[in-house]
């Protein structure tokens, strides 16, 4: 049966394999399938529309250029998300722009201090997440991309047993707490 007639039923790994072999229809299906997820991840960086589009295009270009390096097609989502995340970080570091609210509208000095600390901490947390081992980093991002993550959905998407999500999450959070403490960022600092 030709690939064109079965393309609707192919799983991600099969699509990746076909795209690696030069099948343009398989590549188009991958782009169609994963673009919404990538847009959602990129949107979290609060980039301008133009910058977000640039990051999306760069992500797909890098994915195309490095597609042969994908050994496990079922991990395509995480691989693409990592590329997009790194491109967003590169753009943020290049422009050195910090999105800050109108501090005059916040009122008291304490409100301003809290908002500046929140902005600084968000950037610091992104740096600390990059220091996590790869498995913990991927899980942390999967758990934080929605407000109410379900372990079953996360486990299915990451191709992991459901029972491994909780313990890996605990190790991830313990590591992050240690990294925060190493930088002397404690609960007292946050209050």
CATH of the domain at 55: 1.10.1740.10
Percentage of the chain beyond pLDDT 70 is: 73
Q: Is residue 132 part of a domain?
A: yes
- What is the per-residue pLDDT across 88-117, written as a single tens digit (0 to 9) for each? 888 876 654 444 444 445 555 555 556 556
Question: Are 123 and 76 within one domain?
Answer: no
* Mean pLDDT over each residue of the chain, to the nearest integer: 78
Q: Which of 42, 72, 100 is the C-terminal boundary of a domain? A: 100
Q: Which of 68, 100, 132 is the C-terminal boundary of a domain? A: 100
Q: Is residue 78 part of a domain?
A: yes
Q: Is residue 4 part of a domain?
A: no
Q: Is residue 41 part of a domain?
A: yes
Question: Are 16 and 95 within one domain?
Answer: yes
Question: Are 37 and 51 within one domain?
Answer: yes
Residue numbers of the domain that contains 171? 102-190
Q: Is residue 3 part of a domain?
A: no
Q: What's the alpha-carbon Rg for the chain, to the nearest Å?
A: 19
- In this predicted structure, the answer to whether residue 164 has a pLDDT above a threshold of 60 is yes
Q: Is residue 5 part of a domain?
A: no
Specify the range with the lowest mean pLDDT, choosing from 9-13, 32-36, 38-42, 161-165. Answer: 9-13
Question: Are 41 and 89 within one domain?
Answer: yes
Q: Is residue 6 part of a domain?
A: no
- Counting the structural domains of the chain, the total is 2
Q: How far apart are CA 146 and CA 156, in angstroms?
A: 15
* Locus of tokens 């795209």: 19
Letter string b/e over residues 86-113, b meaning 16 or more CB atoms within 10 A of that residue's CB: ebbbebbeeeeeeeeeeeeeeeeeeebe
Q: Which of 70, 100, 130 is the C-terminal boundary of a domain? A: 100
Q: Name the pTM for this structure.
A: 0.48
pLDDT confidence tier of residue 146, bands split at 50, 70 and 90: low
Question: Are 74 and 119 within one domain?
Answer: no
Q: How far apart are CA 155 and CA 114, in angstroms?
A: 35
- Return the higher-pLDDT residue of 83 and 183: 83
Question: Are 48 and 106 within one domain?
Answer: no
């Amino acid at each position: 049966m030709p690939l064109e007639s079965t393309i609707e039923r192919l799983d991600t790994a099969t699509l990746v394999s076909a795209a690696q072999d030069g099948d343009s229809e398989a590549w188009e299906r991958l782009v169609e399938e994963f673009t919404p997820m990538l847009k959602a991840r990129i949107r979290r960086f609060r980039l301008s529309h133009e910058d977000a589009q640039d990051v999306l295009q760069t992500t797909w270009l890098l994915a195309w250029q490095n597609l042969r390096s994908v050994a496990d097609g079922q991990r395509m989502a995480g691989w693409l998300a990592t590329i997009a995340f790194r491109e967003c970080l590169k753009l943020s570091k290049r422009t050195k722009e910090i999105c800050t609210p109108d501090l005059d509208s916040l009122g008291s000095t304490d409100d301003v201090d809290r908002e500046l600390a929140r902005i600084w901490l968000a950037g610091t947390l992104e740096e600390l997440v990059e220091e996590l081992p790869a498995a913990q980093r991927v899980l942390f991002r999967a758990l934080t991309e929605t407000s109410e993550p379900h372990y079953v959905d996360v486990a299915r998407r990451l191709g992991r047993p459901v029972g491994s999500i909780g313990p890996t999450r605990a190790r991830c959070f313990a590591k992050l707490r240690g990294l925060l403490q190493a930088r002397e960022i404690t609960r007292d600092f946050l209050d």
